[in-house]
Amino acid sequence: MKRIPAWGGWVLGVLALVVLGAQALEAQQQSAGASVTIASLQARLAALAPQVAYLKDRRDIFDAMKRYTRGADRHDKDLVRSAFWPEATISVDKPMTVDEYVDSEERLLASYAAHQHHITGQTIDIQGNAAHVESYVIFFIVPRDGRGDTQGPATPGHALTSAKSTVSSGRYIERWEKRDGEWKILVRNFVEDLELKGDTVDYCGSRPCIGTWDRNDLSYMRPLQPVTAEQRRERAEANKKTHSPDGARK
């Protein structure tokens, strides 16, 4: 092995130290840079997550509420039921189970010629997996002339123009719970605040009406296709034959 002179050893030593130092410094800077970036991203994500969760919770709660009103208006009991936890208590006139409520409400709504429930806004107070929600509701009820009804699954009916229609305004005051990421109603109290009476209009008696109380309604069609004038007429014609679970009523 070739001998290295003494001064050479020192020079190499100093060089080595410079290189080592530079390498060590660079490595430290790199890893410090990376960890700062990840840590700051984690902090930003942690700050973002609750804000997004809040928006998503509000959206999911409104969405589930719309399942209830849409289900009630279309007489789709499964859709109504999907807004409540199985053990929910619903107090309208008296406390009811979900099944009692779904059946009694559907029966009540079937006794009208037409009805529609508008949720106009919600106040939501979320505490973890529980939420207190107040939903403003305006609903319309048109009295039914059941004399032409035949027995069968409930359909929209003919309006009884000799009786008044009702526009009601009230609030669903509820406690909701989130389970496995899903929000549903656990307690409902309904409070009616005011009612207006108006003259009943037999809209479907004079103009084509195509809404139905089953899954034949246009809102269920996938993919939605434009309805031709002919199809519209056919649907309106079919709607003139009205049914109710009890058959003809006076």
Partner 1 sequence: MNAFASPARVLFAAMAALPLLAACTDGEKSEVDAAALASAEKQVAELESAVRQVADDSAILQNELKYTRGLDRHDEKLSRDAFWPDAIITYGNVIPPNDIGTWANSVHSKRAAHQHHVTGLTLDVDGDTAHEEGYILFTADVQRDTSADTNGVPSPGRVLRGSKATLGTGRYVNRYERRDGQWKMAVHEYVHDLSVSFEPVDLCATACMGRWDPADLSYQRPLQALSESERGQRIERGKKPTEQLLP
Answer for the pair 243, 152: CB distance below 8 angstroms, yes or no: yes
- Written as one string, the DSSP assignment of 130-176 is EEEEEEEEEEEEEEEEGGG-EESS----EE-TTSEEEEEEEEEEEEE
Nearest distance, CB of residue 235 and partner 1, angstroms: 10
Among candidate residues 15, 73, 8, 93, the one with its CA nearest the CA of residue 220: 73
In this structure, what token pair is assigned to residue 99?
């099944």
Radius of gyration of the chain (CA): 33
Backbone angles phi, psi at 82, to 5 degrees: -70, -10
Does 29 help bind partner 1 (rule: CB under 8 A)?
Answer: no
Nearest distance, CB of residue 57 and partner 1, angstroms: 9
- CB closer to partner 1 out of 196 and 248: 196
Does 27 help bind partner 1 (rule: CB under 8 A)?
Answer: yes
Q: Which of residues 123-182 bind partner 1 (CB under 8 A)?
A: 138, 140, 142, 156, 159, 165, 167
Contacts with partner 1: how many residues (CB under 8 A)?
74
One of 25, 29, 33, 35 touching partner 1 (CB under 8 A): 35
One of 119, 126, 163, 187 touching partner 1 (CB under 8 A): 119
Nearest distance, CB of residue 94 and partner 1, angstroms: 28
Nearest distance, CB of residue 103 and partner 1, angstroms: 23
- CB closer to partner 1 out of 203 and 248: 203
Query: Of the ranges 56-64, 85-93, 97-105, 183-191, which one interacts with partner 1 (CB under 8 A)?
Result: 56-64
Indicate the DSSP class of residue 218. Answer: G
Q: How far is CA 213 from CA 11, 126, 154, in A?
A: 94, 34, 7
Does 201 help bind partner 1 (rule: CB under 8 A)?
Answer: yes
Does 19 help bind partner 1 (rule: CB under 8 A)?
Answer: yes
Q: Which of residues 76-95 bind partner 1 (CB under 8 A)?
A: none
Neighbours of 190 (CB within 10 A): 14
One of 75, 83, 90, 200 touching partner 1 (CB under 8 A): 200
Answer for the pair 171, 134: CB distance below 8 angstroms, yes or no: yes
Query: Of the ranges 6-14, 87-95, 100-108, 168-176, which one interacts with partner 1 (CB under 8 A)?
Result: 6-14
Neighbours of 193 (CB within 10 A): 10
One of 25, 29, 36, 55 touching partner 1 (CB under 8 A): 55
Residue 170, classed as helix, strand or coil, is strand
